Amino acid sequence: MTFPTIQLPQRALTLARNVITMPKVIYFSLPVLIALTAFMAVSETPGILRDWTINQSPTQVDSGNISDGKCSTRKGFFTNCSAHLTYTYKGQSYDKDVEIMFVDIHAGDYDTDIVISGDHPELATLSLGLDMLWNRIITLAVFVALLGGACIVMIFQILRVWNVCGQLHRPALLEPVPVEITAFQRRGKRLTVTYADKVAGKQTGRAAHTRFEPGQEPLIVGEKAGKSVALAVWHGNTSLPVLLDNRLERIELTAEERANALAPLAAAFGGRPPELVAQGKKGPSIKARLARVLLIILLFIAGIFGYWLWYVTSAGSQFTSPGMDLNNMMPAPINRWGCDQLKKRFGDQRAPFGCTASDYTSWK
C-alpha cells in the first residue's frame, strides 16, 4: 500500500530541536525502578549467600529457641517469613534475626527448625530457608532480571532519543517515510503523538514520541488498519524518524520551498487532507472472550496438575515448593497416592508438609 508523499529539496537540511521527546513518566519511573532493583538485591542477597554457606555443612540445633516467628503472604504467593533465633553451640551463645522471602502457595503454619553452619556456627537460619533456597534464588533472579531489564530498556531509549536530538541541528539529507500513528493525546492546545516506523521503507518497528506546538498538526497522508498514517523523515543516519507537521515548520525551509513540497499533497487530496482521528477497534465477541477465558483456566489447571504429578513422581526433594502445598490441597485419595509416591523415594527422610503424621515429622 502506497501513500502520497512530498518532494523535499535535494540538499542537506536541518530540523528543529526537541521534536523527539520521551514521556515524562519515563524520567520518573526510571529512578524508582533502579531503587527497587537495588533494594531487592541488597535486602535478599546477603540472606541467600548466608544460607548457601550454611547448606554446605548444615547442622540442626535442637536446643535453640525460635521467637517472634511470623510469615505473611502478599498477592497470594509472595511469602515473607521472619524470626528471632537464640541458640548455644559448643558453649557459645548466639542471637540472630532471620528474614527470608520466597514464592509459595501455602495454607496454614510452617514447621521449621534452627539450622547452623557446622563450619561457621555464627551463621544460622531456618530449615524452611534451606528448603526454599533454590526457590529464593530463582525468585530474586527473576525480580532483578525483570526490573533491571526494564531499567536497561528505559536507559537505552533515553540515550537513543538524546543522540537523535543531538544530530538534528546538523544539516543532512531528509528521506520522507510514512509512519503509523499508534496513539495521541490532546491537552489544551498541546498535541502529543506516539508513532512507529512500520508502514513502508525500512520498517524498523521503532516507536518515537513527539509534542507539537499549539496550532500544529501531524502531516496525515492516509489510513491503514484503522490507524492514521502520517509523514516523517529520516535525518541522515539517525535511528529514529522525525514526525512532520502539516506546515513543514519543523524543517528549515523557505516559504516557497514549503509550498512546493506540499503542492503534491494538496493535489492528491483535492484541498481536503485527511485529519487525525481516533479510530476504535471492534473487539472480539462475548463468546470468543468466554472461550479464551475457559482455555486459560483449562491450561492453568493442566499446568498445576502436571507440576504436581512431576513433584510426586520425579522431584529431587520432598520439600520442593509449591509441590508439597499442591499435594496437601489435593482430595484425600489423590493426596494419599501422591504421598505414597514420595515415600517410595524419601521414606527414610522427614515427611514433607501434606504427608506428615500427627507429630509433623514422620510419614502418615
CA 60 to the chain's CA centroid: 39
For residues 364 and 339, the answer to whether their CB atoms sit within 8 Å is: yes
Question: What are the Cα distances from residue 343, in Å, to 34, 45, 111, 313, 356?
Answer: 46, 34, 19, 10, 11
Looking at residue 350, what is its pLDDT? 87
The reply to whether 270 and 338 lie within a common domain is no
Strands 207-212 and 114-117: unpaired
Last residue of a domain, one of 97, 121, 143: 143
Residue for cell digits 526433594? 317
pLDDT digits (tens, 9 = 90+) for 48-103: 999 999 988 888 888 889 998 888 887 667 888 999 999 998 888 999 999 998 88
Q: Which three cell numbers stand for residue 148?
A: 533491571
Q: What's the pTM value of the predicted model, to 2 decimals?
A: 0.65
The reply to whether 271 and 177 lie within a common domain is yes
Question: What are the Cα distances from residue 38, in Å, to 22, 66, 143, 309, 334?
Answer: 24, 30, 11, 37, 43
- Please report whether residue 158 resides in a domain: no
The reply to whether 333 and 230 lie within a common domain is no
Burial code of 97-122, b = ≥16 C-beta within 10 A, e = fewer? Answer: ebebbbbbbbeeebebebbbbeeebe
Last residue of a domain, one of 281, 315, 335: 281
Contacts of residue 240, Cβ cutoff 8 Å, sequence gap at least 6: 20, 160, 161, 164, 197, 206, 208
- Please report whether residue 7 resides in a domain: yes
The reply to whether 182 and 236 lie within a common domain is yes
The reply to whether 248 and 316 lie within a common domain is no
The reply to whether 3 and 78 lie within a common domain is no
The reply to whether 47 and 80 lie within a common domain is yes
pLDDT digits (tens, 9 = 90+) for 279-301: 555 556 778 888 888 999 999 88
Whole-number Å distance between alpha carbons of 308 and 328: 10
What residues make up the domain containing 319?
286-346
Q: Is the pLDDT of residue 19 over 70?
A: yes
Question: What are the Cα distances from residue 289, in Å, to 286, 294, 299, 300?
Answer: 5, 9, 15, 17
The reply to whether 230 and 295 lie within a common domain is no
- Please report whether residue 359 resides in a domain: no
The reply to whether 274 and 302 lie within a common domain is no
pLDDT digits (tens, 9 = 90+) for 204-228: 888 999 999 888 889 998 888 888 8
Looking at residue 283, what is its pLDDT? 57
SS3 116: strand
The reply to whether 269 and 317 lie within a common domain is no
- Please report whether residue 254 resides in a domain: yes
The reply to whether 186 and 276 lie within a common domain is yes
- Please report whether residue 356 resides in a domain: no
Last residue of a domain, one of 230, 255, 281: 281
Q: Read out DSSP for 131-177?
A: HTHHHHHHHHHHHHHHHHHHHHHHHHHHHHHHHHHHHTTS-B-EEEE
Whole-number Å distance between alpha carbons of 210 and 11: 25
- Please report whether residue 156 resides in a domain: no
The reply to whether 264 and 181 lie within a common domain is yes
pLDDT digits (tens, 9 = 90+) for 317-338: 888 877 888 888 888 889 999 9
- Please report whether residue 52 resides in a domain: yes
Phi, psi of 171 (to 5 degrees): -60, 140
- Domain total in the chain: 3
For residues 235 and 197, the answer to whether their CB atoms sit within 8 Å is: no
- Please report whether residue 270 resides in a domain: yes
Looking at residue 189, what is its pLDDT? 82
Q: What is the mean pLDDT of the chain?
A: 87
Among the ranges given (144-148, 237-241, 267-271), the one the predictor scored with the smallest mean pLDDT: 267-271
